[in-house]
Chains A and B, each alone.
Chain A
């Protein structure tokens, strides 16, 4: 491994291509931690946005008018505002209003840090789109299938869980895939509230080393790799869930 790092040092010395994240131990550690933070933030947001999408789509089918109205308002609010504005809103407006608690050193500090607010804000943002995606999937389930389930004596809840949603999920996968890719890319906005993710650590590194061009390029390829891996996984899922006669 050491020879690989030394090769990058040589690349810097002789060709002026300064990829300090490979030969400098400190930068390497920073970059790796940034990469892990991006992955962790992405996974958290993906999972919770899916949960929000599921619950929202279910509530949208509800008989209670207020539940449908609440979901509608939620979607309007989070789909129609820029994610960066939402991040600032949660971190500075909501975070600043919450009560503070004494930490180990006896200082009053806020309950939640920047990572938490980034995860909350991006999950809600991604979730709002997921609700719509699931809804479109549910509406695509043939009316006859639902009627068949009704005539077999399924309850409304059972129909949603056992018939409509499994079909809707398959119809939604393609659109869901797009939204998930977008969400992973949007995690880079967390840079603005000081979450040490990939873009944040890269900015720190290029400010110290002044190797902006190299870092920008590396950053781009890092995201290509990350999103590529996720898309590959989603395609595997799409194939695994494939049902002959439905869409494929």
Chain B
């Protein structure tokens, strides 16, 4: 019995060591891998209209999908799009399921320890809330103790909960959170200001009773990301050149306009800087 217990404990610690101690192998040469198989695999959003969404024909479309197409075009390879979610996009890149993240991902120091975020950043947004009209919230302080819907894995959930004391109910994706908001399960939906802006601008009648009145806070840049080990290798260098060129040529401003997104001051600034 005793011997069995010891054996059990040894097995458990061995299992722990295997799971926790294994270092993800550095995926050297993604660049070569892409060229060899003639295909670039990009992780994009499918619930973030109009940056990444599923169009009427059932295909992934949007501003970031256009960007992915451009990268593949420049590499001279085919493009495969994989829909990712906020809570799993980083793991997908680490596991090598995708070669590149273009999925509305904000830049922050913690993420920089895990993935290679390409500078310059390509977009910027801040934290805001889509609020039901007449809920009596006129400043961020007013959300204390109130229920706000959110998306699992978003970096601002923690900040809004800790700083302003809101109760965040987070769902797997934007559609679920927005349904819960429409169903009255929360007074508002914490999201990126850009997303809320384009939701309201879509003119969909179901959002007629909602507004975005709080000041946009904690503005963060969005970055595309490559595996961390390749940030300073040829793959990272290539992606830096691509994003710089997007800013210089005004391509991002063009795509933004194409999708009917309100002109972002960030893109104008970057365009002036690189031109």
Q: How far is the CA of A100 from the CA of B186 in the complex (A)?
A: 12
Q: Assess the B170–A110 pair: CB atoms within 8 A.
A: no
Q: How far is the CA of A163 from the CA of B185 in the complex (A)?
A: 47
Complex interface: stretch among A65-73, A121-129, A147-155, A211-219: A211-219
Task: Please tell me the size bucket of the interface on A.
Answer: 20 to 34
A92 partner residues in chain B, CB cutoff 8 A? 176, 179-180, 183
Looking across the interface, which residue of chain B has its beta carbon closest to that of A110? B184
**Which residue from A17, A194, A207, A213 sits with its C-beta under 8 Å from B155?**
A207
Complex interface: stretch among A49-57, A101-109, A174-182: A101-109
Q: Is A31 an interface residue (CB 8 A)?
A: no
Q: Assess the A207–B87 pair: CB atoms within 8 A.
A: yes
Q: Is A61 an interface residue (CB 8 A)?
A: no
B21 partner residues in chain A, CB cutoff 8 A? 15, 17
Q: Assess the B114–A194 pair: CB atoms within 8 A.
A: no
Looking across the interface, which residue of chain B has its beta carbon closest to that of A217? B19
Q: Assess the B90–A210 pair: CB atoms within 8 A.
A: yes
Mark out the residues of chain B between 67 and 111 whose CB falls within 8 Å of any chain A CB in the assembled complex: 86-87, 90-91, 110-111
A213 partner residues in chain B, CB cutoff 8 A? 19-20, 22
B20 partner residues in chain A, CB cutoff 8 A? 17, 213-214, 217
Q: Is A95 an interface residue (CB 8 A)?
A: yes
Q: Is B136 an interface residue (CB 8 A)?
A: yes
B176 partner residues in chain A, CB cutoff 8 A? 92, 192-193
Encode A186-216 as 1/0 by CB contact (under 8 A) with B.
0000011110000010011011111011101
Looking across the interface, which residue of chain A has its beta carbon closest to that of B150? A194
A209 partner residues in chain B, CB cutoff 8 A? 110
Q: How far is the CA of A15 from the CA of B23 in the complex (A)?
A: 11
Q: Is A228 an interface residue (CB 8 A)?
A: no
| A231 to B: closest C-beta gap in Å | 16
| A210 to B: closest C-beta gap in Å | 5
B114 partner residues in chain A, CB cutoff 8 A? 210
Q: Is A114 an interface residue (CB 8 A)?
A: yes
Q: Is A157 an interface residue (CB 8 A)?
A: no
Q: How far is the CA of A15 from the CA of B90 in the complex (A)?
A: 21
Q: Is B171 an interface residue (CB 8 A)?
A: yes
Q: How far is the CA of A9 from the CA of B172 in the complex (A)?
A: 30
Consensus secondary structure, chain A interface: helix
Consensus secondary structure, chain B interface: mixed
| A98 to B: closest C-beta gap in Å | 10
B149 partner residues in chain A, CB cutoff 8 A? 194
Q: How far is the CA of A208 from the CA of B157 in the complex (A)?
A: 9
Q: Is B204 an interface residue (CB 8 A)?
A: no
Q: Assess the A113–B110 pair: CB atoms within 8 A.
A: no
Task: Please tell me the size bucket of the interface on B.
Answer: 35 or more
Looking across the interface, which residue of chain B has its beta carbon closest to that of A220? B19
A217 partner residues in chain B, CB cutoff 8 A? 16, 19-20
B171 partner residues in chain A, CB cutoff 8 A? 192-194
| A103 to B: closest C-beta gap in Å | 10
| A94 to B: closest C-beta gap in Å | 10
Looking across the interface, which residue of chain A has its beta carbon closest to that of B162? A26
B187 partner residues in chain A, CB cutoff 8 A? 107
B162 partner residues in chain A, CB cutoff 8 A? 26
Encode B19-53 as 1/0 by CB contact (under 8 A) with A.
11110000000000000000000000000000000
Check A105/B183 contact, CB under 8 A, given A200-B170, A207-B154, A210-B90.
Answer: no
Residues of B within 8 A of A (CB): 16, 19-22, 86-87, 90-91, 110-111, 113-114, 132, 135-136, 146-147, 149, 152-155, 157-158, 162, 169-172, 176, 179-180, 182-185, 187
30 contacts between A and B (CB under 8 A): A17-B20, A92-B176, A96-B179, A100-B184, A107-B136, A108-B184, A110-B184, A113-B185, A114-B169, A191-B172, A193-B176, A193-B180, A194-B170, A200-B152, A203-B153, A204-B157, A207-B87, A207-B154, A207-B155, A208-B155, A210-B110, A210-B111, A210-B113, A210-B114, A212-B90, A213-B19, A213-B20, A214-B20, A216-B19, A217-B19
